[in-house]
Amino acid sequence: MLGFVMKRLSLAIPTVMIVVVVVFFLVRMFPGDPAQLLLKDQATPEALARLRHEMGLDQNVLVQFLSWLRHAASGDLGTSIVVGKPALPMALQAYGISLTIAIPSVILATLIAVPTGLIAAWKQNSLTDTALVGVATLLLSVPTFWSGLLILLLLGVTLNWFPVVGYVGLGEDPVRGALYLAMPILTLSLHEVGSLIRMARASSLEVLRLDYVTHARAKGASEGRVLAGHVLRNAFGPTWTLVGLIMGNLVGGIAIVETVFTIPGIGRLIVESIYQRDYPVVQACLLVVAVSYVLINMIVDLFYPLFDPRVARQ
Amino acid sequence: MKSMSLNAWLGLCIIGAVLLMALLAAVWTPYDPDALDYLAMMQPPSAAHLLGTDDFGRDILSRLMVAGRTSVLIAIATVSFAAVAGTIIGTISGYFRGTLDGIIMMLNSALLSFPGILLALGLVAIFGASASGTVVALGIAFVPAVVRVVRGNVLSLRELDYIAASRVMGNSSIYTMLRHLIPNSVAPIAVLATSMFGWALLSESALSFLGLGVQPPAPTWGNMLAQARPYLSQAVWMAIFPGLLISISLLGINLLGDALRDRLDPRMKGIR
C-alpha cells in the first residue's frame, strides 16, 4: 500500500513541474508588453525601460523563469494590474467559492447516477434501460449555459424560489449563501449525471457478466444482495476515476455556470482577467486550477484501492 | 443491435439536417440576419418571424442559420487542424520512439493534465477572441488527445510483419508512414474525430457565450444565448431556440459517436 502511494506521488510531482513550466510560457506568449500594460498612459520611454529592468523583462527567458519560480515558490505570483492586489490570494479565494459549487454538485451527481446506472445495467435492454440511457444521453447533450438559463428562468424568474442575481458568501450568511448556490449546483450536477450514468452502467454491465456474479446467484443470494454486495462495489471503481476527471473539468467549465448565475468564482475571474488583460491574475488562476486538477486526480487514484484493493497490490 | 443502428440513423439524420441548414444559410435566409428593425424589437414567434426577433429587431431564424454555418465551419476547421497535427506528431513519435518520443510524450501528458476548456481559455488570450483564434486555441487544446491515440496505434502496428517487410524492402520511413501507418490509424481517428466535432461545437459555443469567441454582431449560437440572458423574462424565445439547436446538434453527434464506438471498439461488443 505504501509503495502504491509513493508511486502515485512520484508520478504527480513531475506533472506539476511540467504544468508550472507550461503556464509560465503560455502567459509569456500573451500579446502586449506587461510594462506597457502596468504604466498605461504614463508610459514614457524612460519609465518603460526602468520598469522593464525592475521586472527583469530585459533579461533572458531562462533567468526570468528561474526568478519567477523563486517568487512562485514563496507564493508570490505578482500583483493584479487592474485592482492592485496580490494575484495568488485573489485566485485562491475565487477558487474556494468555485469549490462550494463543484464539490456538492459532484456528490449529488454521483449519488443520483451510480444507483441509476446500476439499475439500467441490471435491467439491460428493457424499456427502463432504454429510457434511462436516453435520458442520460439527453442530459449529456444539453450544454450548461442553456440548462442554466432554463433553470434560472424556471426556478428563479418564474417560481421565484431562488435569488436571480447577486451572491452572498457562505461565510457571511450560510442560509442565504446556500440559496444562491442551489441553482448553479443543480445545473452542474444535471450535466454530470448524464456522463456518470453511462459510465456506471457500462462498468456494471462488465461486472454482471463475471463468474462470481453467476456464482453468487447460483448460491441463492437475493438479487439485492448480488447488486449491492458484488456488482456495486466492483463497478464503482471506474466510475470513481471519472469523478476525478469530472471534478477537474468542472472547475475548468465552471466559468459558464458562474457567468449565468453571476458568482465570483475562479472561472469568472479568469474570463474577466482575460478581457482586461490582467495577466498576473490569469496566470495565478491557470496555475491554481491546473495544479489542483493534478492533485485532485492524484487523490482520486489514492482512494481507488478502497473500492478495488487489487489495484494497490499490482 | 437493432436499436444501435436506429440510434446511428437518428444521429445521422440530425447531423444531416444541421449541415443542410448551414449550407442553406450560405445562399438563403428569410431575412438579412444583420438587418435592424426598430419597429419589430423582441417580437414573439409569428408568421412573419417564425422564431421571433431579438432586442435589435433582427430575425432570430435567419441569425440561427448563419450562426449554424459559422459554428459548423469552426468545428470542421478545429477538428481538421487537431486531426492532421495530432496524426503527424503521433505517427512520428510512435514510429521513431527514442528521445524525441520521450520529449513529445512528456509535453503531451502535461497538456492533457490541463482541463481542456482551461487550456483553450489560456490560448484564446494569446490568439485573440475571434473565429480564427477559436480554431487555433481549440485545435491546439485537442491535439494531445489525437497524439495519444495515434501514437498508441502506431506503437502496436510497427511490431507487425508487414511494417518490418516495408522496411526490409528499402522503403523510406516517410513512405512507410504514409503508405501503411497512417491509413491504418484512420478508424480510431474517425471515432475520436466524431466526438471532437461535438466538443468543438460545444466549446466554440461556450467561448462565444463567455464573450471570448466570435464577436457580435456576427451571430453564433453561444453569443446569441449570452445576448438573451438579460431579457429572460421578457423574450424567452431569444434563449430557447439557440440552446435547443446546440442541444439537438450535440445529441445527434453523441448518438452517432456512440454507435461508431460500439462498432469499432471490440471491448464494447455484447454490451448493448
Rg (CA), chain B: 22
Burial of A65 (0-12, 13-18, 19+ CB in 10 A): middle
Per residue of chain B (272 residues), give pLDDT as tens.
445 578 888 989 999 999 998 888 888 888 788 877 777 777 888 877 777 887 787 888 888 899 999 999 999 999 999 999 999 999 999 888 888 888 888 888 778 777 777 788 888 888 888 888 999 999 999 999 999 999 988 888 888 888 888 888 888 888 888 888 888 888 888 888 888 898 899 899 999 998 888 888 889 999 999 888 888 888 888 888 899 999 999 999 988 888 887 777 655 444 43
Give residue for cell 510531482.
A13
Nearest residue of chain B to residue A268 (CA atoms) = B210
- State the pLDDT confidence band at A81, using cuts at 50, 70 and 90: confident
Close Cβ partners of B86 (under 8 Å, ≥ 6 residues apart): B142, B143, B144, B145, B146, B147, B149, B150
CA geometry: angle B247, B251, B255, nearest 5 deg: 175
ipTM at complex level: 0.80
Nearest residue of chain B to residue A253 (CA atoms) = B117
pTM score, whole prediction? 0.84
Among residues 190-249 of chain A, which lie with CB inside 8 Å of chain B? 202, 205-206, 209, 248-249
Among residues 120-139 of chain A, which lie with CB inside 8 Å of chain B? 124-125, 130, 137-138
Nearest residue of chain B to residue A19 (CA atoms) = B110
Q: How near does any CA of chain B get to the CA of A155, in Å?
A: 12
A·B CB contacts under 8 A: 139
Nearest alpha carbon to residue A105 among A148, A62, A65, A70:
A148
DSSP string, A4-21: HHHHHHHHHHHHHHHHHH
- State the pLDDT confidence band at A94, using cuts at 50, 70 and 90: very high
Tell me if chain B has a CB within 8 Å of the CB of A157: yes
CB < 8 Å to A125, chain B: 272
Smallest Cβ–Cβ distance between B236 and the set A15, A153, A255 belongs to A153
Total Cβ atoms within 10 A of residue B253: 25
Smallest Cβ–Cβ distance between A255 and the set B106, B210, B233 belongs to B210
Close Cβ partners of A157 (under 8 Å, ≥ 6 residues apart): A164, B232, B233
- Please give the pLDDT value at position B179: 83
Tens-digit pLDDT profile for residues A257-292: 888 888 899 988 988 888 887 888 888 988 888 888
CB < 8 Å to B115, chain A: 248-249, 251-253, 289-290, 293
